[in-house]
Amino acid sequence: MMKNEIITINKTPNGSIFSYVDSQIIQIEYKNIFLCFHKDDFKNFRNFINNLDIDYMEKVNVNLYNKRKIIIQMKNSKIKIVFNKSEFQEFYELINFKKYYEKKQEFEKFYLDLKIFSDN
């Protein structure tokens, strides 16, 4: 693998997760959102997302003016990302590697130390 090669970790119709070969940074592009995480921060973010009760969030936010009722406050920031239920489901599949691996074997072999494929 070349040093500046990009490894696609996962893709959905509206997003992708990727990293450079020699990087410990995981980059997520989903619709008009672009997030960068160190590998450990990515795992923490994924665990946070996986534990959200989106049905509760939709109920609590039902009377808000905005059309997207799933509102996620980014840690240590005033930035919030918002989803409707179908967008959230796709984002969930994206960060949990549910659908697609490009060069999966190469990625797992090269990034064995990243351990982003498990929650440990």
Q: Does residue 110 have a pLDDT over 50? A: no
Please tell me which residue, 57 or 10, carries the higher pLDDT value.
57
Cβ–Cβ < 8 Å for 83, 68: yes
For the segment 16-55, what is each residue's pLDDT rounded down to a tens digit?
999 887 788 999 999 999 999 998 899 899 999 999 999 9
How far is Cα 3 from Cα 82, in angstroms, rounded to an integer? Answer: 35
Annotate 10-21 with b (16+ C-beta within 10 A) or e (fewer). bbbeebbbbbee
Measured CA distances, 111 to 70, 77, 115 (Å): 32, 29, 7
The amino acid at residue 54 is I
Q: Does residue 91 have a pLDDT over 60? A: yes
How far is Cα 64 from Cα 75, in angstroms, rounded to an integer? Answer: 22
- 51-74 mean pLDDT: 93
Q: Does residue 99 have a pLDDT over 50? A: yes
CB atoms within 10 A of CB 69: 19
